[in-house]
Structure 1
C-alpha cells in the first residue's frame, strides 16, 4: 500500500482462493466534506461505521481497490468466466453494473492522479499485463510487460511523480521488481535476494527513498524489507500469529504504517509502525474471514477494508 498526498491514491491488493460473491469490508470512512448525493441517499461519511455488501457479480480472484480522490473508489475482480470486472463508487452509491475489462486474472491498480490510473493483471501465459485509464476512458488493449513469469497478483505503487514500482512473486517464489520511470520499464530485479516467500507482497511508500515491503516467510510469519534510496535492508521478522494469507499494509498519514493480517482462525490482527517503532499486535473485532484484506485510503485518517467471509460474501467496512 502506498500513501499519496492530495488527490492521489493508496492501493492495496486483496487475494482470495475460490468462488466469491462480491461483497466488501471497509472500516471507518470519514470524509472531510460530505458528498453531494441524490435526494434520499445519505453520503457514506454521515453513516456509522459498518459493513455493506456490493452485489452484482461473482469473482474467483479477490478484488483490488484504488482511489484517485475524495469519495472515489474503484474495485476490480475476476469473475467465473475469467473476465476482469470493474465497479466504481462516488461516496453515495455504486455504479449500476460491473464493467467487463477482458480476460485476465489477479488484478491490481494504482492511480497517479485524478486523471490517470494503471491496472495490472496476470495473464494466462504467466506474464504481467498493463492497461491505463486516462481522461475518463480506458485504453482499448492490454500491454504485456514481459520479463519473468509471475504467480498471483502484482503489487503496483506510486513512489513519486510519474514513477511506478511493480512488485510480484516469481514462479520460483522470490520477490521481484520492475520499475517505470515515466518513459520505460526497467529490467527485473530481486529485492531481498533469492529468499523464499510464502505470499504476495504488500508495499507502503513513505517517500521516494523510503519503501516498505511485507511478505510471509517460510514459517508464515510476517517479514519486513526496507529500501532507503540506495540499498535494501535485510529481512526483519515481525513475529505475532501465523497467517495462511498475505499481510496487507497502508499509510494514511505521514510516517505511519498500519499492518493487517488474517490469522489461522480468520481473526483480523493489526500492528502499527510510527516514529517510535512497532506497537504490539492487536485484534480487530468483527466477522471472521477466509481471505486477506484489501485496503485503500483517499486521505489522512481514512482507511477502507475489503474482505470475504466463510459464506464467500465480500464485505466492506468503513
Structure 2
C-alpha cells in the first residue's frame, strides 16, 4: 500500500493540473472574447468610414486638378466632334464648360453653333502673295510675318500682339476674343494666343481660362478663404452644405459664409446684416431696396 505522504503528493499534483488547465481554458476563453470584441470594433469603424464617405458629397480641386479636368474635357469634345483642340476649347467656353451641352447643341444644329461661337466650317487662307497688307497698320509685310484666324483676314505679328495684349489687359473678356476685322466674328483660339502673345500675356490668359472653368460651372466654386487657391466641386443630393477645404477653412456651399449648420442660410444672412457696422445705412437699404435675384444681396 502507498503511504499517506505519497497519496497526499498525488492529490496536490492533480489539483495543480486541474487549476492550471482551468486557468488556461479561461485564458483561451478570454482571448476568444477579445477577438470577437476586436472584430466588432473593426466592423463599427468600417461602418463609420463608409458613412463619412457617403456624407462628404464634395471634392477639393487644386490648380493641377483643374487643369487636368479642363484638358480632359477639351480632349473629349475634340475626339467626339472630330475638331481641333482650340476649336473644342472655344465651344466649351461658350457653353460654360458643359460637355453634354456642347454635344447636344452641336448634333442638333452644327451650322448654327459654328455661327454663334465663331468657327467657320472652312479655314480660309491668306492671299498667296509675297507681301500682304496688314488690315490694322496697312503696312505691306512679308507673308511669313502675317497671321490670320480661321477667317483668313491677315494682320502683322506686331498688330496681333498689341491687339491680344490690350484684350488680355481688359480682363476675362479676352477668352471670347474675335478677329480684329470689324465685319468678322471668327474666334481667336488659344493656339494663336500661345504663338503670338508675350509670355506675361500667355500666363495671364491661362489663369483666366482656368478660372472660367470654375466660375462658369454651376457645380464648382472657389474656396472663399482669403488667399486660398483651392476650388470645390459639389454634388447635390445631401442635406448638408458644409464644406471643409484643404486650407482648413469651413464654409457653407450654398451661401459661401462660414459653416453655420444647423442654422439656415437666410437666418445667417439676416444676422450678418443686423450686426454690420453700418447698421443704420443697412436699415435704410433693407427698407428701400430688394435683394438681387442672383446673389441675394440688397
Q: Into which bin does the TM-score normalised by the smaller protein fall?
A: under 0.3
More helix by share: 2
Give TM-score scaled by structure 2 length: 0.24
More strand by share: 1
Higher relative contact order, chain-length normalized (CA < 8 Å, sep 6+): 1
Give TM-score scaled by structure 1 length: 0.23
